[in-house]
Chains A and B, each alone.
Chain A
Amino acid sequence: MVGAVGFEPTTSWSRTKRATKLRYAPPTRVRQRCARRRAIANSFGRKDLRPPLRRTPFAVLATGGALRENGFMNAVVDATLPDAHGRFGVYGGRYVPETLMHPLQQLEEEYARAEQDPEFQRELTYYLRQFCGRPTPLYLAERLTRELGGPKIYLKREDLLHTGAHKINNAMGQILLARRMGKTRVIAETGAGQHGVAAATVAAMFGLKCVVYMGEVDCRRQELNVYRMKMLGAEVVSVTAGQKTLKEAVNEAMRDWVTNVRHTHYILGTAYGAHPYPMMVRNFQRIIGDEARRQILEQEERLPDLLVACVGGGSNAIGLFYPFLQDASVRMLGIEAGGEGIIPERHAARFQGGSLGVLQGARSYILQDEQGQIQLTHSVSAGLDYAAVGPEHAWLRDQHRVEYSYATDEQALAAFGALARLEGIIPALESAHAIAAVMERAPKMPRDQVIIVNLSGRGDKDVAQVAARMKL
């Protein structure tokens, strides 16, 4: 069995470990590439980046015993969800006005057909490679690793994608679907503007009319993206209802969709909303995790110990986590926006101050008052500033498969600056929340472990806002 794995074991210990952990035998070509990469890593002359000599005994990881004591982590979960009703346990579903019920059923059916259609998959893969720039690198953040003195920290570089964030993965999938369904117009909601830009981009590519709804407050704080969308030919509607952020943009997009559903497809940007959106968006985003899993096995010859991602609606996080759900040894950490601290209306951490509710098509954790009115939210990052969280995340939390925590505005801003100075990468403020969590956790973790953090987007859009805050 050990021989089948195909590695040259360096110690008898690593033979067993790798044999147990890896589920496939990498071909020779992969082995050679691994050896090359190992050599490169070793050439840094830094002990902390060399393959570790001792690791946590696998038995501990496999039973989850040691980890359970930390209050989270289940071995594996059922990754076949959602069920036929679009539910992840008690979460998810399809809570929409009747006008949208049949169109959502049609979308679900068409998506199921597309998923099985090799031609659709071929086309999607082609555009993701040739237009979007996939695969994205899995980059070892050397200085950040050294600075924190803990595990090796790898960045999944979704920030390098065309348009600057992971959002294009989903937008590309959905525009191809919209074309399949013969829709001539697409609409989207956006918070930070990254999804809006992605939707405007793919709409321009295929010559479809595009309208993007964005809260007035977000239009102001993410002005650069408003200009980009307009230059791409999209119409940007500034939404002035309520607190003028992402939630109101979703309301407005849904109103548009109800009105124009016969010829319009709603490119929902996150793993939220009525079924099939949470499932469909996850499946379009899982390429992040699929690539990262392959890449870490090549580069480190092992699975990571911890995955970290920020969670607004939760599409970049579920995209990274999903392909690892069955890997018992991989812990996962989702980071919500802690805003100014967990004070009602001053944060967007649904798992901290939220409760079970139904909003904008799905049942999940939402920030609401005792009467069921949706509460105001706050985050320095427009993309995380939302009152509900994706239903699959709520379920994964219940299953103790993923731990959810939060980072405050201040922590995110500190991480934003740190990554820029240490690594030469300016992250999106959303992704900076994940970096902040890594900065807090990594020093407390063994040095022989490996963390992958999803750098879901780049921070160009945030530069003006942060500069003003820092009084640059």
Chain B
Amino acid sequence: MNRIAERFARLKRDRQKGFIVFIGAGDPNLEMTRRLALAFDQAGIDVLELGVPFSDPLADGLVNQLAAQRGLESGTTPVKVLQTVAAIRRDSQIPIVLYIYFNLLHRRGLEIFVAEAAAAGVDGLLVLDLPPEESENYEALMRESGLCAIYLIAPTTPDSRIELIVRRGSGFIYYVSREGVTGMQASVSDTIGQMTARIRAHTSLPVAVGFGISTPEQARTVAENADAVVVGSAIVNEIAAHGRSADLTERVMAFTIPLAKAVKEKRTSP
């Protein structure tokens, strides 16, 4: 069974909410990415999203753009990210999703990339700019390799599209809680409950909610309506601030653990 599906099954059994962390791969370097991944695993993070640096991350806000830039500057390539995942797999079974722009897959060749990702120990791909309409044989390839094709749903997504997306997606559905790029914001959207209810009307897949969540209070609020909460830019920001310090891992964990706790406080109703 795929590690993502396994994890969400366990969370459901334990009536727990999931906590998903995003970081940019290779920020500040891939060795640090490996160490952070192991630390996240020990802290009980449910899924790790690794952003594969791309030169033109048009769905990302400034914080993640800069992370991608640092990743590229440290020499990070898609192949090296896969090697890093393979290295993480020697010590950890934390579910890993690659957050990636389609051109990087396209360039490598979809079939080859999916096979390589599966071999490295990746559990799912979230391709930012690949809607189901353009996916061609992507989902079939992913299924054959045992990977989850994770799709986004946005506040602008109408019911007809929700129906299409949940049919094509696997692992979990990532609900982008607001219109816009990735990044932190002062308050979370108040339409989350409404939208997650609409999504659940069409699917039994777990619904993760992300974009703009940066404090334990926000995480707690969002967790009320979500199966899992995603925090990205806020953690990336910590890495940016302390990237050069020797105790980067400790600092990032000190920031992340309260967020995870806030999410885990929420129990799902039986």
Contact = CB atoms under 8 A, between A and B. Distances in A.
Interface of A: 85, 93-103, 241-242, 247-248, 250-251, 254-255, 258-262, 356-361, 363, 366, 368, 370-374
B161 A358 contact: no
Nearest to A95: B129
Nearest to A372: B107
B258 interface: no
Interface stretch (B87-95, B130-138, B188-196, B259-267): B130-138
A97 B77 contact: no
Contacts of A356: 106
A163 B125 CA distance: 46
Contact of B133 (A85, A258, A374): A85
Given A94-B134, A97-B128, A262 B56 contact: no
B129 A358 contact: yes
B151 to A, nearest CB: 7
B156 A373 contact: no
Contacts, number: 115
A281 B78 CA distance: 35
B154 A99 contact: yes
Interface of B: 54-61, 65, 72, 77-79, 102-108, 128-131, 133-134, 151-158, 161, 165, 176, 179-181
6 contacts: A98-B151, A98-B156, A98-B165, A102-B161, A250-B58, A374-B56
A427 B78 CA distance: 44
Nearest to A260: B179
A103 B77 CA distance: 33
A102 B131 contact: no
A373 B179 contact: no
Given A251-B58, A255-B61, A357 B107 contact: yes
B78 A259 contact: no
For B79, B129, B151, the residue with the greatest tally of chain A CB atoms inside 10 Å of its CB is B129
Given A97-B128, A372-B78, A360 B58 contact: yes
Nearest to A251: B58
B176 A98 contact: yes
Nearest to B181: A255
A98 B132 CA distance: 9
Contact of A97 (B59, B104, B155, B158): B59
B56 A360 contact: yes
B18 to A, nearest CB: 21
A98 B153 contact: yes
A36 B161 CA distance: 60
Nearest to B158: A102
Contacts of B106: 356-358, 363, 372
Contacts of B103: 357-359, 366, 368, 372, 374
Given A95-B134, A97-B154, A357-B106, A258 B179 contact: yes
A366 B56 CA distance: 13
A241 B65 contact: yes
Contacts of A357: 103, 106-107
Contacts of B59: 97, 255, 258
A361 B78 CA distance: 21
A99 B155 contact: yes
A87 to B, nearest CB: 10
Contact of A261 (B58, B102, B165, B179): B179
Nearest to A87: B134
B142 to A, nearest CB: 17
B58 A255 contact: yes
User: Closest 6 A-B residue pairs measured CB to CB?
Assistant: A372-B107, A259-B180, A99-B154, A98-B152, A372-B104, A373-B55
B12 to A, nearest CB: 25
A248 B57 CA distance: 10
Nearest to B174: A98
